[in-house]
Amino acid sequence: MIPASFDYVKATSVDGAVAALVKGGEDAKVLGGGQSLLPVLRLRLNAPSVLIDVSEVGEMRSVTDDGDSILIGASVTTYEVMHNELVKEHAGLLSLTAGVVADPAIRHKGTFGGSVAHADPAGDLPTVAAALDCEMVIAGPNGRRTVAAKDFFVDYFTTALAADEVLVAVRVPKLGAGWSYNYQKFNRTAQAWAIVGVAAAVKSENGTITEARVALTNMGATPIRATGVEAALAGASSSEAIAAAASKAADGTSPTSDLHADGEYRKHLAQVLTRRAVQAASGI
Amino acid sequence: MTATAETTDTTKAIGRPIRRKEDERLLHGRTNWTDNIQLPGTIHMATLRSPMAHAKITNIDISAAVASEGVLHVYIGADFPDLPGTTCVWPVTDDIVMSHMPAICTDEVRYVGDVVAIVLATDQNLAVDALQLIDIDYEPLGAVVDMEEALKPGSPLVHESAGTNLCYTAKMPCGDYEAAKAKADVVVSRRFINQRLIPNTMEPRSVVAAPMGMSDEITIWTSTQIPHVLRVLLALLTGIPENHIRVVAPDVGGGFGAKLQINREEVLALVLAKKLGRPIKWTEARSEHFVSTHHGRDQIQDIEIAATKDGTVLGMKVDLLADMGAYLQIITPGTPLLGMFMYSGIYKMEALDFTCTGVYTTKTPTDAYRGAGRPESTYAIERIMDELAAELGMEPMELRKKNWIKHDEFPYTQIAGLTYDTGNYEAATERAMEMFGYEALRVEQEARRAAGDPVQLGIGISTFTEMCGLAPSRTLGALKYVAGGWEHCTVRALPTGKIELITGTSPHGQGHETAWSQIASDIIGVPVEDIEVVHGDTGRSPYGMDTYGSRSLAVGGQAIKLAGERLVEKARIIAAHQLEVSPDDVEFSAGTYSVKGDPEKSTTIQAVAFEAFTAHNLPDGVEPTLSGEATVDPLDFSYPHGTHLAAMEVDTETGKVTLRKYVCVDDCGVQINPMIVEGQVHGGVAQGIAQAMYEGAVYDAEGNLLTASLAEYLLPSAADLPSFDTDRTVTPSTTHPLGTKGIGEAGAIASTPAIINGVIDAIRHLGVNNIDMPASPMTVWRAIQAAKSGGN
């Protein structure tokens, strides 16, 4: 279909984008790669009065090493995340997962920040942001602030971003030595959204898991950390122990039901995929 | 006779896998899709569609839309109270309940997507904007979604005046099924759901209608498979004289049956172009396509098969419920019956009891979709054969071998009365099993079962035949189809020696320009590149019955051959005159006429074409110009066949199904262009796999289409499919002078049951004996869970 008409502002700086947002008021929307927003507009599910394009704001286009973390500009594309050497070295889980997002055309247009800010619970990258305890760097009319992933994702398609704020970058803590990782994406066609996804990062010593991070895609309104699994994995050194820990993956979740999967099936999948992700990550 | 290798005679064009002439233009974007047509003064049309499945229209307020920027007109049903939006040319029974689909609904809507108003504006965007300003009040009348519910007393009625949702009941008892069943040791019955599919062509529907000014002619460019049939129907529906209408199908980006239709947007564009005297243009959005372009399949199949304990099939009972949707379109009621004769597949049996009940529901109308009736029949017979094999404890391929028609039994008149001219099921099967590594996979399957591997392996078999070449006009007449099935070709030799081949077929991706050139090249002896194929325009190719049902080569190919031969014969008379001998003394070979016994004395067909143009020295009684013309009405159908094998892996922990290996050996008789055949097989197989694993329209109880975009309605891409291993056996058809059969639909017909048989074969030992399509992970996982807990 054809979107309703809207004004378009091409931002050249973060401050400019924020100013345009303030000026645009409630009906203004930030446009990144457009891979989620444009379909919404074409279906006329939303009709913003103005789109503020941040896809070429210089500050938001780079990946930089910042000591204990790397800083990924919000307008860095999924394809760039997938292939960036800093990301590969310090946040391999993120580059691995970027490679299973949609298809090459979408990965070339869609941005990391756009995916995170869109906060679709079926999105793969928000889950990784949750698993890696990322921090969101946000700019607004009153300056900048930082919000932890656990506080950033609020509800379906809802984040801590205010209407006049822009996600500038995502700070990804470096995992350090001894960590390995895996992402299990379960979908029906290669390009489709995850029915359920599981991101796992584990730290092992001598065949025993010492620390684990497990986050779930599409198991609720936001990315969910499977804290019960994480706790149970500490000290695990056998496939049985991993399976036992994984059986807690759906605890406390209330996943949605749709055409491809109902809630009960999603809960089942979360357990199977968690087991597989941890086994693949740990090699146990 | 069956050959297994592709024979390539370098002196012949037929049989050569030459690259398609069309492709350079297509790949470089030099195409002329209907939506690319830009005419000065064009008015853009947008359609407002009902959000309700079934409701009375109680009030319409168009005032805001009329006042909206760029809007020229807003029309509602009351503006065209008597204008139909479509017509049905196949009233299959004497007592069928017909329907009337208005061009614009007047007082009632019957499916989500029914047209309730149209906006005409100076710009497409402005037309779409104004749609949102039209205010319509609806009073719900009750959706009718489920076919069995629709037939119950008290169900809301889709067409109140009919007093029933029953559209028709067609019966075809062949032999005495009850007697056959009485002799049976084993009777197996299953309910199969052949789910509703939504055809998705790359190019959505689009139409431009324009008065041409210099005469009363209105040209309508439309993304259609059937320009010739459409011209007749548009004249009948609108009252505009047929000789004032020219229909052009420009480049058409796929059809699959979805463009074998007369659509209300075409009717409206034509009528409005005449009324307003300006070009009218309409192109659907993909989301509009999902609800408004006809759907396919949608049958509940109750199938019963009776056999002796040694595996001899005695008979089969077929009881179908077929969903018509809300209205009958061009061949809606006939589509399920296109498979009526094919339920026995390749097998011998003494009885086939067929019943089909057509049912109205408040859903998008159904109609032809790749295979139209034969995928449904093939699914039923190939699935039930596997179930019978399981019941008998027989290897499923062995059961098939025991019952199929042997190669030396052709021609064979099967139980429904069709005579299969040729076939060699043994040869295709042997080759397919060898390519597949059938025995090794059976060994692996056993090993995985024994080991309790979470990923189980299954082998899916489909040994199919189908019926191609909708042709014999008398047969179609006997089936109450109101048109014929002939095909036309004119081959014109132009003064400069170039050839125009004017065909009545209307390609939309099949490569007719190349394949038809190859046929003509061999017959008239000019290079393929000197032949231009003219198609899809009633102004330039006045006679034709168009392209559907794998008929183009099977029927149109015969017309090309005959027209070419007539041209050659006329040219022989002129050549003989030039060479000063009797025509009987002139030999024709590879474009050259030479005197028998004196080959130095010769002339070429190109030289003859120039003589026929100047007409300075033609023999007495021979008219100037050189062409051959033929209209052919074949005497019978053709029956391609093949063996398709699928290795399916089922992850029993998640229910996820993976197609590991797919082998198909098709027999479409003589291949004009093996590369085109290969492409047709790949596309067809993928489309059939899509039905088995991915596609399926889902409606909620209120009649809303839940799978209304490509996000919910899943189509596989290349990333989801393995590389197919294909080969062909060649058993020439004896009903076709070129020995060809048809290949356009075979893949889509054969592959669906192969996939599902493979899925069930992987998990039958767990107690599963049916999976409804699509075999989604949740469906398969639930079937495994149900079997584990003792039910299924």
Q: Residue B423 sits in a domain of what CATH number?
A: 3.30.365.10
What does the buried/exposed string (b/e) look like for B679-698 if buried means 16 or more CB atoms within 10 Å of the residue's CB?
Answer: bbbbbbbbbbbbbbbbbbbe
Q: Is B113 part of any domain? A: yes
Kindly determine whether residue A189 and residue B656, on different chains, have CB atoms separated by under 8 Å: no
CATH code of the domain in which B246 resides: 3.90.1170.50
Q: Are residues B406 and B464 in the same domain?
A: yes
Quick one: pLDDT at residue B437? 98
3-state secondary structure of A223: coil
Tokens of B651: 């992850």
Contacts of B127 in chain A (CB under 8 A): none
| CB distance B513 to B21 below 8 Å | yes
CB contact A188 to B (< 8 Å): yes
Full-model pTM:
0.96
Q: Are residues B389 and B449 in the same domain?
A: yes
Contacts of A186 in chain B (CB under 8 A): 654, 656, 777
Q: Are residues B619 and B514 in the same domain?
A: yes
The confidence band for B2, taking pLDDT boundaries of 50, 70 and 90, is: low
CB contact A2 to B (< 8 Å): yes
Quick one: pLDDT at residue B9? 63
- Which of B611, B632, B653 is the endpoint of a domain? B632
List the single residue in B128, B132, B781 with the smallest CB-CB distance to A265.
B781
Q: Are residues B672 and B755 in the same domain?
A: yes
Q: Are strands B626-632 and B499-503 parallel, antiparallel or unpaired?
A: unpaired
Tokens of A136: 């969101």
Q: Is B609 part of any domain? A: yes
CB contact B70 to A (< 8 Å): no
Q: What is the pLDDT of residues B89-144, one digit of tens each?
A: 999 999 999 999 999 999 999 999 999 999 999 999 999 999 999 999 999 999 99
How close does chain A come to B369, measured CA to CA in Å?
22
Q: What is the pLDDT of residues B517-565, one digit of tens each?
A: 999 999 999 999 999 999 999 999 999 999 999 999 999 999 999 999 9
* CA–CA gap between residue B149 and residue B83 (Å, rounded): 32
List the single residue in A1, A192, A261 with the smallest CB-CB distance to B714.
A192
Task: Read off the pLDDT of each residue in A237-248 and give the average, rounded to a whole number.
Answer: 98
Distances A20 to A13, A51, B20, B522, B612 between C-alpha atoms, Å: 11, 9, 53, 69, 75
Which chain B residue has its CA at the smallest distance from A268's CA?
B654
The answer, yes or no, to whether residue B423 has pLDDT greater than 70, is: yes
Identify the structural domains of chain A with CATH numbers, from first to last. 7-53 (3.30.43.10), 62-173 (3.30.465.10), 179-282 (3.30.390.50)
3-state secondary structure of B642: strand
Contacts of A264 in chain B (CB under 8 A): none
Quick one: pLDDT at residue B11? 80
Task: Read off the pLDDT of each residue in A156-164 and give the average, rounded to a whole number.
Answer: 96
- Residue A131's nearest CA partner among A118, A149, A147 is A149
How close does chain A come to B512, measured CA to CA in Å?
32
CB contact A6 to B (< 8 Å): no
Contacts of B288 in chain A (CB under 8 A): 1
* CA–CA gap between residue B206 and residue B278 (Å, rounded): 17
Q: Are residues B587 and B723 in the same domain?
A: no
The answer, yes or no, to whether residue B206 has pLDDT greater than 80, is: yes
Quick one: pLDDT at residue B1? 47
* Look-up of token digits 């052709």: B410
* CA–CA gap between residue B487 and residue B559 (Å, rounded): 6
Q: Is B350 part of any domain? A: yes
Contacts of B437 (CB under 8 A, 6+ apart): none
Q: Is B19 part of any domain? A: no
Contacts of B671 (CB under 8 A, 6+ apart): B6, B15, B677, B728, B730, B740
| CB distance B511 to B673 below 8 Å | yes
3-state secondary structure of B49: strand
For chains A and B, CB pairs below 8 A equal 60
Quick one: pLDDT at residue B581? 97
Q: Are residues B410 and B509 in the same domain?
A: no
Q: Is B190 part of any domain? A: no
* Look-up of token digits 């042709």: B471
Query: What does the DSSP 8-state code read for residue B315?
Result: E
Q: Are residues B593 and B716 in the same domain?
A: no
Q: Are residues B671 and B529 in the same domain?
A: no
Kindly determine whether residue A43 and residue B656, on different chains, have CB atoms separated by under 8 Å: no
The total number of structural domains in chain B stands at 3
Q: Is B605 part of any domain? A: yes
Tokens of B307: 């056999």
Kindly determine whether residue B707 and residue A259, on different chains, have CB atoms separated by under 8 Å: yes
Percent of chain B surpassing pLDDT 90: 94
Kindly determine whether residue A261 and residue B782, on different chains, have CB atoms separated by under 8 Å: no
- The complex scores an ipTM of 0.96
Contacts of A269 (CB under 8 A, 6+ apart): A186, A195, A196, A261, B654
The confidence band for A263, taking pLDDT boundaries of 50, 70 and 90, is: very high
Phi, psi torsion values for B195, nearest 5 degrees: -70, 160
Q: What is the pLDDT of residues B34-87, one digit of tens each?
A: 999 999 999 999 999 999 999 999 999 999 999 999 999 999 999 999 999 999
Q: Are residues B95 and B235 in the same domain?
A: yes
How close does chain A come to B693, measured CA to CA in Å?
9
How close does chain A come to B17, measured CA to CA in Å?
32
Quick one: pLDDT at residue B792? 44
* CA–CA gap between residue A59 and residue A75 (Å, rounded): 9
Mean pLDDT taken over chain B:
96
Query: What does the DSSP 8-state code read for residue B6?
Result: P
Query: What does the DSSP 8-state code read for residue B191?
Result: E
List the single residue in B285, B776, B781 with the smallest CB-CB distance to A188.
B776
Percent of chain B surpassing pLDDT 70: 98
The answer, yes or no, to whether residue B4 has pLDDT greater than 70, is: no
Quick one: pLDDT at residue B5? 46
Quick one: pLDDT at residue B696? 98
- Which of B632, B666, B686 is the endpoint of a domain? B632
* Look-up of token digits 């991070």: A213
Q: Are residues B466 and B541 in the same domain?
A: no
Query: What does the DSSP 8-state code read for residue B581?
Result: S
Helices B746-763 and B777-788 cross at an angle (nearest 10°) of 40
CB contact A102 to B (< 8 Å): no
Q: Is B499 part of any domain? A: yes
Contacts of B778 in chain A (CB under 8 A): 260-262, 265
Kindly determine whether residue B128 and residue A262, on different chains, have CB atoms separated by under 8 Å: no
Task: Read off the pLDDT of each residue in B733-757 and give the average, rounded to a whole number.
Answer: 95
How close does chain A come to B286, measured CA to CA in Å?
7
Kindly determine whether residue B132 and residue A44, on different chains, have CB atoms separated by under 8 Å: yes
Q: What is the pLDDT of residues B748-786, one digit of tens each?
A: 999 999 999 999 999 999 999 999 999 999 999 999 999
Q: Are residues B651 and B780 in the same domain?
A: yes
* CA–CA gap between residue A164 and residue A172 (Å, rounded): 24
Helices A263-282 and B777-788 cross at an angle (nearest 10°) of 100
Range of the domain at B400: 296-470+636-788
Q: Are strands B724-728 and B657-667 parallel, antiparallel or unpaired?
A: parallel
In sequence order, which ranges of chain A are alpha helices (DSSP H)? Answer: 14-24, 37-42, 78-83, 85-90, 92-98, 104-109, 112-118, 124-131, 149-152, 227-233, 239-246, 263-282
Q: Are residues B652 and B708 in the same domain?
A: yes
CB contact B781 to A (< 8 Å): yes
Contacts of A265 in chain B (CB under 8 A): 778, 781-782
List the single residue in B717, B778, B781 with the smallest CB-CB distance to A190.
B717
Q: What single letter denotes the amino acid at residue B471?
A: A
The answer, yes or no, to whether residue B305 has pLDDT greater than 90, is: yes
Contacts of A262 in chain B (CB under 8 A): 778
Kindly determine whether residue B715 and residue A189, on different chains, have CB atoms separated by under 8 Å: yes
Q: Is B180 part of any domain? A: no
The confidence band for B483, taking pLDDT boundaries of 50, 70 and 90, is: confident
The answer, yes or no, to whether residue B403 has pLDDT greater than 70, is: yes
Q: Kindly state the helix (H) or strand (E) to which residue B488 belongs, with its residue range.
A: strand B487-493
